[in-house]
Structures are given as C-alpha cells and as structure tokens.
A and B are shown apart, each in its own frame.
Chain A
C-alpha cells in the first residue's frame, strides 16, 4: 500500500510533462472502452462489457472501504441493492409518467444518480452505527446488516417485488439528450460515461484531505486521533461516500438489466465484489478495475465453457490471498518496477523457465478438474470428452495418469528446479527478487 504513496511522491518530484504522465492511463482506458464494442460486437459481449463497467464502479466503491480505509465489509451489496431498487422505482414511475403523458419523469441519464442518492441515504443510516469501530466488529455488523436486509427483502414484497423482482422499461423514458436507449450498445456508452465520471471522482477523492486521513485511520488510528481527527467521522464519511458510488452502480445495473431481484442485495453479490477487489489488488487504484473485469469475464465466459468455474474462482482467490496479497495489479506493478530498475538483467531465462513450468503444472491441474467434472457429474462418463486438442475417455486410466504426470512434472520442476534457479540467478545478478 505504501508503494502507491511512493509512486505519487515520485510523480510529484518529476515535474514537467506531469499531466501527460498522469493522464495517459485514463486516456488509454477511455480509448479501450470506446473501441471495445467494435471487437466484442455480439449481444452477449456488449452485455458483458456493460456488466464490467457496473462491476468496476462497484468494486472501486468497495475499495474506498477496504483498500483506503481498511474496513472489511461483507455486506456492501446492501447499498448497491438499495440503489438498484430505488432507481428501479424511479424508472417505473417515469415509465408511468411518460405513458400516461402526465409528466416528464426522471431522465434516463440521471437514473444512476437516483440510485447513488439512495445508496448515500442508506449508507448514512447504516453507517451511523456500524462505523463506530473498525476491524472485526465492523465486519460482523456488515454481515448482520446484509443478513437483515436480505431476509427482509422477502418479507416486504411491496418494495422489493418479492421473488419475481421488479421490472422496468428503459425505452419509455425521457432522455436529456434525446437519445433512444433501446439498443444495448447505446446503453453501453452511457455506462462508460458513468464509469468514467465515478472513477475520476473516486480517484480525486483519494487526493483530498479526507482520502489521506482515511489512509491514516487505516494504518494507525491512534496517531490519526492524536493529530486531532475523529476516526469515527473519517470512517463514516468514507463509508457514506462509498455507499453513494455503490448505489450509482446499482442504478447503472437497472438500466442494463431492466430487472432487479433479491440477488442484487444479498450475500452472494457482497462476496463477489470482495473477491473482485481483492484479486485485482486493494492497494492500487486500478486493482479493483482489473479484478472486476476479470471476475465478470470469467463469470460470463468460463461458466459456459466449464462447470468448474466457481471452483477455479475460489482456488484463484485462495492463491491470491496466500501467495500474492497485493493482487494481480500488485504483481504486475512489482515486476514492472523491478524491470525498470534493472532487476531482470541476466535473470530473464530463469523467469521464463519458472513461468513455463508453472503453466505446465496449471495445465495438468485443469485437465484433472475438467475430467473429474466429466467423470463424476455428466450423465454418461464413458462418453468421449473434448479436452483442449484431444478427445479422451475418462473411464480409462490413461488420461488420468497423463494429467497427474503433467501436474507433477510442472509443479515439481517449478518448486524444486526453476525457483531455486531463479533465486540463484537473482543473487548472481546482485538484485532483489
């Protein structure tokens, strides 16, 4: 986490073309986001891209708590969900107003803002008592709140629409710009707009005194108090603002899906956003963005290829927690830093060797898991199964033996040959890993 501060400190020293330096990742992301639908142009892909934008806003909002303030929440979907439900009520109200011709309603572009205000409202209510303490108490209260809200979503059917959920129509609404939002591509560009507005706001929020104090409260609450800040107030403000952005994500969700069910408010989504932010890397601003993109991609593509996607997902998460707590962006950043400072000199072959053996081990592991699913879960285990380039019969021993051999060879080489070799090479080059 301190690397971020070092980065900004280093950035502020080298003046000159500082704005170009700071703005290029944003511009690159904007270009990618705008051009993405030309490559991924099918309906399924555009829906996936929109979902990514929503999840990115949500994960960034979540990271305002976990990464910046050090508050671990198990129930942030509450604010996403309330944002989504109230935005949906606003959408339905606008639908009626337009269809009856009785009024103007809420313009479609501002529906996410309605969700955000709803998130802020509930964030203030729940935050007022849950941010008194940090740590495990906060985590437990967030768990209690999400349980409370999820259980009551089935009790209060008038507001939550019961098990069927609530429907709305994004076409029968007025638009500020006079645009028809029937096509999913048009909605995608609206999502990109809100994503960039929210991401920029959240990024700038980190640079305000509140953002810096949130870091201080995370790292050393006693000292923050000693400087004269009320830690509860800092936590409460971060919490409410984070709930606001989560609510915006909920409002965006309404426009893409046009339906809200209790899935939007419960334990599962809360867990998903935690996984997304953590896998991406909570110590970096871009971490949750990468994590969200990865999670949504895996969810929408891997789930159609493999039954085992949740298993892979859980194992990926555990691996990140155990071996790379700084997340994917953290690893990339560390290696990039290392590369720039010349740490890769003379060690590139060893690094490549290490990566290749790890990938071989991973291949063996995936083969075993896929065959296990086929053998144990399909109706006819002896039916031929397509595994990468070959077709295997999982009831015979041969493919199993080959897969186990690949796994053991890959893993064994990596642990007992490649890694010591890399360590020696690094020592010989006289650098750190």
Chain B
C-alpha cells in the first residue's frame, strides 16, 4: 500500500509538473487576451518534434533551448499575422482561429513526420537511475523534468513580480486600456506574451515528448486536460496553475494505479449489489475507468460552482 502511494505520488508530481509547464503559458494568454488558445497543446507538440529534429544535429542540450525559441517565434507570428487580424471580429472568431490552427498543425506534423511515434530518446548523460524505492528504480530523467519545471516556475514568478516587464504584463492582464493610456504598446505586449507562452509550452514538449510518446496525437491527448488545469487554477494565476496541475496530476495517477470501486466500500460494510442490478455497472466500475472522466467532471463542477477557480481574481 505504502509502495503504491509513494510511487503514485512521485509519478503524479511529475505529471503535474508537465501539466504546469503547458498551463502556465496558457493561463497567461487566456487571462490577458481572453483567448482560449486551442492550439496551445499543438505548440507543445511542435516543441517535442522540433527538439527531436534539432537534437539529431546539435544534441539534446542545445535543442532544449533552441526548440522553445523557434516555437516562440512561430507563436509570435501566429499572433501578429493571425490572431491580431481576427481580433477585430470579436472573441468567437479568435477562438475558432486557434481551433482551426490546431487542425492544421496536426496535419502538417503528420505530413512531415508521419503518423508513427518518433524515436525521440533522452540524452545519455541523464540515462541512469537516481535512486531506488521499494525495489523500483527512479530514472534521473524524471528528476530532470522536475528540475526544469521548478526552474521555470521560479523564473516566471521572478519575471512577473520583480521586473518592469512583469509589471506591464500584470497591468495588461487586468486593465489593458489603462496600460495603453500610459503609453505602452499593448498589442506588442500581447504578441510577446503569446510568444513567451507558446515557448513555455514547447519547453514542456521538449521534455514531455521524451517522457510520453512523440506522435501526432500527443496534442489532442493534452489539450483538454490543460484547459481543466487553467480553469481550476483561475485565469491568469501562475500559482493557481501550479496548484491545479498538482491536483489533477496526482488525482489522475492515483485513480489509474489504485484498484478501487464503490464495491470495495460496500464490502467493508458487508453489502454488495447483485450483478444484474440496474446500478451494477456503476457499483463495480473500476477507478481506472473513472480516471479519464475525472478532469472533465472537475471542469464542469468548477465552472458551475466557482467560475473564478482556486486563485483567480475574476470569473472566466
């Protein structure tokens, strides 16, 4: 039991940190521009594919920095020539634009790389066992992902709270009109934030592509979950995104690794529903099968009962 808990906690922490890498950029974009960026997970996927391609020429360590910069540049172009153009038509076309973009990016990835998973491996320098718990080894690469995520969180926090650029971004989050009146170029701030957010997602992709699988479906796997995190954490709140990522990550891993159903609770009280009963399916439902349902349940419940999320200052 203790073994399962420790292991689920470690894996959940890792999954949560990966979710945080994706959602921190999205929550900034969402909070500032009000754009539900459907293509955010696609930029995460591009990060993984770019790092794979670059890594073949430059090695992993250079790609770790180059891939996010490249994807960030793509993000800046998307904002400058796409979103800004659509912005005048209102919020719905903006949303639809990113929705279509997600389609196109996935198809382009299929075109250039095919549908099969890529052979994207971790660098040899990180391919060793860090420590062993309960006879199961913990790879150093997972610890590396945690380090990257923590560095990212601290860097982001310092950037937003301690620098002048962060001050302007924070101002644009809540009152873009006043920031513009003070003489700042708000559209340009938007572009930089969009570029920065997509670069963060790409950084998540560089390490996430190794941890999971680098394939064209990876964006669609992560996309909806990231929205859950952003809404649960509260729009525009980085600490909120961190807490929500942890909650979702650990919850998902636990429900997947623990064999549990309502029937277990019933068994403690010596009660069982007959197998042909109307509610038998629900009664004997494994927690592993509930796991994919949970994030969406949380999303709906959050939006109904607390639309501003855990740490958000205003409603979605």
Contacts and interface: CB of A to CB of B under 8 A. Distances in A.
B96 A308 contact: no
Contact of A321 (B86, B295, B303): B86
Contacts of A155: 285, 289-290, 292-293
B93 interface: yes
Given A136-B36, A141-B300, A322-B85, A271 B295 contact: no
B114 A148 contact: no
A140 B34 CA distance: 13
Interface stretch (B100-108, B151-159, B162-170, B266-274): B100-108
B313 interface: no
A325 B93 contact: yes
A315 interface: yes
Nearest to B96: A321
* Residue from the set A143, A158, A376 with the largest chain B CB neighbour count within 10 Å: A143
B107 A136 contact: no
A325 B85 CA distance: 12
B27 to A, nearest CB: 13
Given A318-B101, A376-B111, A140 B93 contact: no
A308 B107 contact: yes
Contacts of B227: 140, 143
A40 B222 CA distance: 42
Contacts of A349: none
B100 A151 contact: no
B127 interface: no
A243 B93 CA distance: 23
Contacts of A311: 104, 107-108, 111
Interface in B281-302: 281-282, 285, 289-290, 292-293, 295-297, 299-300
A147 B304 contact: no
A310 B101 CA distance: 12
Nearest to A71: B92
Interface of B: 34, 36, 82, 85-86, 89, 91-93, 95-97, 99-101, 103-104, 107-108, 111-112, 114, 220, 224, 227-228, 231, 281-282, 285, 289-290, 292-293, 295-297, 299-300, 303-304, 307, 315-316
A314 B103 contact: yes
A159 B281 CA distance: 10
Given A141-B303, A314-B103, A148 B97 contact: no
A322 B97 contact: yes
Interface string A303-344: 000001011011101100110010000000000000000000
* Residue from the set B95, B96, B289 with the largest chain A CB neighbour count within 10 Å: B96
Nearest to B294: A151
A143 B107 contact: no
A314 B108 CA distance: 10
Given A311-B111, A314-B104, A140 B316 contact: yes
Interface in A69-106: 72
5 contacts: A129-B300, A140-B227, A147-B224, A267-B220, A314-B104
Given A135-B91, A154-B289, A311-B107, 5 more contacts: A136-B36, A144-B299, A151-B293, A314-B103, A372-B111
A242 to B, nearest CB: 17
Interface of A: 72, 129, 132-133, 135-137, 139-141, 143-145, 147-148, 151-152, 154-159, 267, 271, 274-275, 278, 308, 310-311, 313-315, 317-318, 321-322, 325, 372-373, 376-377
B107 A310 contact: yes
B296 A310 contact: no
A325 B101 contact: no
Nearest to A75: B296
A11 to B, nearest CB: 27
The 3 residue pairs across chains A and B that have the minimum distance between CB atoms:
A147-B296, A314-B103, A144-B299
Contacts of B228: 144
A236 to B, nearest CB: 14
Given A151-B292, A152-B293, A154-B289, A72 B92 contact: yes
B86 A313 contact: no
Contact of A377 (B82, B96, B104, B114): B114
Contacts of A72: 92, 95
Contacts of B296: 144-145, 147-148, 151
A137 B235 CA distance: 12
B292 A156 contact: no
Nearest to B303: A141
B316 A137 contact: yes
Nearest to A309: B107
B95 A308 contact: no
A377 B111 contact: yes
A226 to B, nearest CB: 22
A151 B304 CA distance: 20
B300 A148 contact: yes
Contacts of B112: 376
B201 to A, nearest CB: 18
Contacts of B82: 318, 322
B95 A139 contact: yes
Contacts of B281: 156-159
A72 B297 CA distance: 20
A383 to B, nearest CB: 17
A14 B16 CA distance: 65
A322 B228 CA distance: 28
Nearest to B292: A151
A156 B112 CA distance: 38
Contacts of B114: 376-377
A157 B286 CA distance: 12
Contacts of A139: 36, 95
Contact of A147 (B97, B99, B282, B299): B299
A97 to B, nearest CB: 21
A151 B291 CA distance: 9
Contacts of B86: 321-322
